[in-house]
């Protein structure tokens, strides 16, 4: 388990009780809009960083994911807590009820800090869908009762629907009027019974039901926890096959599988698709002078920085020692008619290049800040090629052209 370092101020965005805010024992800043909260993140100094942002759920409305994503793009390490009904908000780190206390807020922040940060993006991802590796078998709900075989089929053929099949099976076999898997008790209906979904040392949430006895719910929660643990282990093994262990980025196997699928989608939808290949200039120098620990730190930080720049549907892959590839395949936000896709993507690549140049790497001692640079090359379907291997080859050729041109540059090529 890794803990996030304690930082500094807590930013309250929206309407909050004055007595509640005054009881918080950390420095506090008050703003009344998400734009102001973003401003606080962007302008805070190193001696007074933002520890957490507490957002009034009324500011999020129906665009909660987009608003939270905007905050994360400014500072991905600030903790985001939503204040309101107390229900969990997707992509937020935690939640507190509107009538919360300073002690409850402190407890929620501490709980978030104690959670590992590296797995969330992957475990929220439907890897089968991203890679197009599902065999297309659909789970059909019939009038007859579901059985264990349906759970196995969902686990193998449709893992994203596994929890839904599990819930449907429980409801059919018990006659409960309500059944759900939730993350916290605050989300449970008032008249529902609640049981922990624990298997060994792993927690898989809470099983809530209306119409069940406590003993029945306890027995079935243990049964359900076994299946959820199996599904979790299956997903973890699949991720291990496509992830780079050192950096947490995707690996070469993921790149080729995902690129092939995205290229077919781009052909079908008649939209562009760009691949960028880049490496770290003079990376051997840092390994030789400061050791492999320093080199590992650089690789991990490069991936972390890149994730703050790319869009939610883009993918970063480590394909060699210090060589990376980025698939710019997120079609959102909708592009304006006549927009120049390679130029748009190059803006993201240049922003990443600037982030690397300003990044700090403590293991490099006196050369900790402002020393790294990257060189890269871009290739875009359909202008450069419609073939996967040819696109990879052209991006690689442009990477080496950047090296020949003096490094610290990204070669976009000429759009035909």
- Per-residue model confidence (pLDDT) at position 112: 77
Place of tokens 């209906």: 189
Mean pLDDT for the stretch of residues 328-343: 54
**Which pLDDT score is estimated for 166?**
95
Neighbours of 87 (CB within 10 A): 14
DSSP state string for 155-194: HHH-GGGHHHHHHHHHHHHH--SEEEEESSGGGS-TT-EE
Return the pLDDT at 322: 93
Token pair in block for residue 17: 């009780």
Average pLDDT over residues 244-250: 92
Q: For 189-235, what is each residue's pLDDT tens digit?
A: 889 999 999 988 888 999 999 999 999 999 999 999 999 999 999 88
Tens of pLDDT along 264-289? 999 999 999 999 999 999 888 888 88
- Please state, as a whole number, how many other Cβ atoms lie within 10 Å of the Cβ of residue 414: 8
Please classify residue 225 by burial: count the beta carbons closer than 10 Å to its beta carbon, then call 0-12 exposed, 13-18 middle and 19+ buried.
buried
Spacing of C-alpha 86 from chain mean position: 22
Q: What is the reported pLDDT for 143?
A: 46
pLDDT score for 5:
43
pLDDT single digits (tens) 126-185 = 777 777 766 555 555 554 578 889 899 888 888 888 999 999 999 999 999 999 999 888
Residue 65 has what pLDDT? 77
Look at 264-273, 350-359, 373-382 and tell me which has the smallest mean pLDDT: 350-359
Distance CA 340, CA 361 (A): 35
What is the DSSP code string of 86-141? ----TT-SEEEETT--HHHHHHHHHHHHTS-SSSHHHHTS-HHHHHT-------PP
Q: What is the DSSP string of 12-40?
A: EES---HHHHHT-SS-EEEESSHHHHHHH
Domains of the chain (ranges; CATH) run 9-117 (3.40.50.2300), 127-242 (3.30.450), 252-411 (3.30.70.270)
- How many angstroms separate the CA atoms of 181 and 207, rounded? 5
Question: What is the tens place of the pLDDT at every residue in 39-95?
Answer: 888 787 656 778 899 999 888 876 777 788 788 777 767 889 999 876 677 778 888
């Amino acid at each position: 388990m890794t803990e996030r370092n304690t930082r500094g101020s807590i930013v309250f965005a929206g309407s909050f009780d004055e007595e509640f805010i005054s009881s918080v024992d950390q420095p506090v800043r008050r703003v009344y809009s998400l734009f102001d909260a973003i401003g606080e993140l962007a302008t805070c100094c190193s001696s007074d960083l933002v520890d957490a942002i507490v957002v009034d759920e009324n500011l999020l409305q129906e665009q909660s994911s987009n608003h939270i994503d905007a905050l994360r793009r400014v500072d991905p390490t600030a903790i985001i807590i939503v204040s309101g009904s107390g229900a969990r908000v997707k992509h937020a780190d935690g939640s507190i009820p509107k009538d919360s206390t300073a002690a409850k807020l402190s407890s929620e922040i501490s709980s978030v800090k104690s959670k590992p940060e590296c797995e969330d993006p992957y475990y929220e991802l439907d890897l089968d869908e991203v890679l197009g590796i599902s065999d297309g078998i659909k789970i059909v709900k019939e009038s007859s009762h579901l059985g264990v075989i349906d759970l196995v089929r969902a686990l193998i053929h449709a893992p994203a629907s596994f929890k839904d099949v599990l819930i449907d099976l429980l409801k059919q076999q018990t006659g409960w009027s309500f059944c759900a898997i939730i993350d916290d008790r605050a989300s449970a209906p008032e008249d529902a019974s609640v049981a922990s979904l624990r298997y060994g040392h792993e927690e898989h949430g809470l099983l809530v039901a209306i119409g069940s006895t406590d003993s029945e719910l306890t027995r079935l929660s243990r049964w359900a926890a076994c299946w959820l643990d199996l599904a979790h282990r299956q997903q973890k093994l699949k991720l291990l096959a496509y992830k780079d262990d050192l950096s947490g980025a995707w690996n070469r196997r993921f790149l080729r599988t995902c690129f092939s699928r995205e290229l077919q989608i781009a052909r079908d939808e008649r939209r562009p698709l760009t691949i960028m290949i880049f490496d770290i200039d003079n990376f051997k120098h840092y390994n030789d002078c400061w050791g492999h620990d320093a080199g590992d730190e650089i690789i991990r930080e490069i991936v972390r920085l890149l994730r703050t720049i790319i869009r939610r549907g883009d993918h970063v892959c480590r394909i060699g020692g210090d060589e990376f590839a980025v698939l710019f395949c997120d079609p959102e936000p909708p592009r304006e008619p006549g927009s120049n896709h390679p130029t748009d993507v190059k803006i993201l690549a240049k922003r990443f290049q600037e982030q690397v140049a300003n990044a700090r790497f403590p293991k490099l001692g006196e050369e900790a800040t402002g020393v790294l640079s990257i060189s890269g090359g871009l290739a875009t379907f359909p202008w450069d090629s419609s073939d996967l291997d040819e696109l990879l080859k052209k991006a690689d050729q442009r990477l080496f052209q950047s090296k020949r041109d003096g490094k610290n540059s990204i070669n976009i090529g000429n759009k035909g």
